[in-house]
Amino acid sequence: MVRVLVSACLMGERVRYDGKKLHCKSSILKKWKDEGRVVPFCPEVAGNLPVPRPSAEIIKGTGTDVIEKNTGVFNINGQDVTESFIRGAGKALKVAKKMQIIIAVLKNGSPSCGKTCIYDGSFSKVRRSGNGVTTALLEKNGISVFSENEIKKVAAYLETIRA
C-alpha cells in the first residue's frame, strides 16, 4: 500500500503553533485514514517545539534557503528556531524513507510545510510564493509534496501509481 505523509494538523491533531484544532474536511483524507494509508506528522513538534508556541516565519528566503544555511527561521519574539525546523524536517524525511513514502500532503503557508506559499517574514500575515523547510527537504529527496488544496490531484496521482 502506498502511504501518504500528511501534516498532523490536517488530521485534527492539536499541533499548530496556536494550539488550536484545524481539520481538513476532505473525504479523500478520511478514506485514506480509514485505509491506513495516512502517516500523520508534525515536523515542528518533531523538532522539539512546544504547543502552543510563538508563530515563526522564514526571514528573506524559502525553505530551500534555510536548508542551504542562507537564511533562518525566527519566531515573532526574535528567537532563532532554525535548528528546530531543520531537525523536524530531517525527522520527517527519516520517517518517509523508513516507510517508503513517496507522497506528502502538507499544510500550505507553514514555515515547515508550505508548498506554494509561506509567510513573508514580516509577521503581518502577508504571504509570498515559496516552500517551507520540510517541503524543501522532502522534495530534494524525491518525495512529491502537495498542499491540502491539491488532494484531488494527489488522489489522481495515487491512481496512476496503483495502475
Q: What is the DSSP letter of 15?
A: -
**Mean confidence (pLDDT) of the chain:** 95
Task: Please report whether residue 132 resides in a domain.
Answer: yes
Within-domain flag for 50? yes
Evaluate whether residue 152 is within a structural domain: no
Q: Which residues pair with 84 in a beta bridge?
A: none
160 lies in some domain: no
Could you tell me if residue 154 is inside a domain?
Answer: no
Please tell me the predicted confidence (pLDDT) of residue 57: 98
Per-residue model confidence as pLDDT tens digits over 24-66: 789 999 999 999 999 999 999 999 999 999 999 999 999 999 9
Owning domain of residue 83? 42-146
* Residue 54 preceded by cis peptide, ω within 30: no
Q: Say how many domains are in the chain.
A: 1
- What confidence score (pLDDT) does residue 149 get? 94
Give the model's pLDDT for residue 132: 98
Q: Cα-Cα-Cα-Cα dihedral of 160, 149, 23, 36, to 10°? A: 10
- For residue range 74-88, list pLDDT tens digits in order: 999 999 999 999 999
In a domain, 67, yes or no: yes
Alpha carbon distance 17, 112 (integer Å): 11
Cβ-based neighbours of 100, under 8 Å, separated by 6 or more? 3
- Tell me: pLDDT of 23 over 80: no
Rounded-to-integer distance, Cα 58 and Cα 44, Å: 13
Q: Report which of 44, 146, 161, 159 is spatially closest to residue 100, judged by C-alpha positions.
A: 161
